[in-house]
Chain A
């Protein structure tokens, strides 16, 4: 088979010219890169520095970088602890389960304040958490240097994430709009016992317990033992975190469409 192959080899037209052509191309690159090679001397020059980007673009004529290139970058998170409402949405939306909600000081006694702690050893920088954050307090920054000799240092506590926030790095400006036909929290009234758990734990305090009239018992009927109150969800304030659904002891709150 090999013999056949060599017999049918295409003859090259002009060996000298055909070696000269790639060599000329390489020489042209050599002459170009003598002035300024394409590489970036990384720790000293940084691509995220807009001044440097412009300088490179002018010097080499290469279309490096878009104006807003670094604003969209998904790097280390920044957390504004002050506006965090402990809604848990980031932890729930994390596909890698790298976010854990830990208690931070500053909550009221009834309602412990919990903020995300991120393990960057697991994080895949997908940005689902910052997309899910209803208050915009968890965002992603342009910081990408994370190397550390200790594995434990890969876990960023809320305080550490807050320090990233305070460096005022450019942050990912993209905010997703909520879908128009979003599901709401609905109530199955016969099951409710009026226990107030949902209103107590709601991070946005959008659930109010309204009194309902106590029905008059028919003869022979025994009224259920309950507090005669029912939760009413303020739909425009609700961030759809689902905390109320998960704390409801009777499973009477559920997701559903209002229509």
Chain B
């Protein structure tokens, strides 16, 4: 599975289909159908469908995982009736939301009201086209994939603000304001923490960053950057303790107060998509992606799809940490959050960049390769 990528699979698939259809046709029809353009178009579509299905499935499983985990943290069981251990509960919930009547408040601005959640959802999904899940996924697709992923990731405050403003509700507006302020404040330390990673890895390509972690995972040398990145990611994902935009105690549901039915489901799904992206980015940047430490027996890495398997295991463990934080910490206040963001996080992030530069220029990085517990 060295050179097999997801795109190549879908290309082969579409080629086979087109060839089969084309062999039934005659003359000029055959030429038209069997052209490269048609094959490529269908390949892209297949690629997109696979990604869509995989990411949605993952998101729903993620919600289930959070519910179960949170349940145990709270000394209860979580969803358990629909399907085995409640696995189908979220599908049932989604179906219920899907069947609900979608309506907008009379005073709401319809364009923004419907555009906001849709764009939020779509932009969150776009990122999945860029993230490499294993070595045979979409390697080398983009030299600047990390940057692109973060750019798309930071679209969200705009869409949230649009939907909050056009809901024409005071709670929504306050939630939207908070959301915008918070996301913009934490964008900076997030990117600075990424800069530290890029300095060490020497590339903006996510696959290359993972390959650079063959010998040592980056969380060892870049532990400060990891802390900053995780904290900023928590704020970007709007999870407790940084979930003030939808602080249900005072703002009812924040910027999605007026949304119901499928539009609310869009927000919900997109939130968890972003949580998934956040966990994946932590794994990619700091925890060695799909690689495993060398002292792990090779049997653990040689079965088919081992890369994807270990990658998902890591992702879910990282997300479990987020759930743990959610289960044990209270929510902070807006001004405190912003003060922490600008006064503490940015200096820390700058420090992490400085440390990374120091490590790279002093050429002491290989030291970390000798410590087995760091992985690689």
Contact = CB atoms under 8 A, between A and B. Distances in A.
Interface residues on A, range: 10 to 19
A39 B325 contact: no
B328 A22 contact: yes
Interface string B293-336: 00000000000000000000000000000001101110000010
Given A39-B77, A41-B77, A33 B328 contact: no
B77 A26 contact: no
B334 to A, nearest CB: 12
Interface residues on B, range: 10 to 19
Point out which of B72, B77, B328 has the most chain A C-beta atoms below 10 A from its C-beta: B328
Nearest to A6: B335
A39 B76 contact: yes
A39 B75 contact: yes
Contacts of A23: 324-325, 328-329
B329 A38 contact: no
A37 B76 contact: yes
A38 B71 CA distance: 11
Contacts of A27: 324, 328
A34 interface: yes
Contacts, number: 41
A37 B329 contact: no
B73 interface: yes
Nearest to B340: A15
A30 interface: yes
A25 to B, nearest CB: 7
Contact of A26 (B71, B76, B324, B335): B324
Given A23-B325, A23-B328, A30 B77 contact: no
B66 to A, nearest CB: 13
A23 B323 CA distance: 11
A24 to B, nearest CB: 8
Contacts of A22: 328-329
Contacts of A26: 73, 324, 327-328
A38 B328 contact: no
Nearest to A39: B76
Interface string B87-128: 000000000000000000000000000000000000000000
Given A22-B328, A33-B76, A37-B72, 11 more contacts: A23-B328, A23-B329, A25-B328, A26-B324, A26-B327, A26-B328, A27-B328, A30-B327, A33-B72, A34-B72, A37-B71
Q: Which 3 pairs, one residue from A and one from B, show the smallest C-beta to C-beta distance?
A: A26-B328, A33-B75, A39-B76
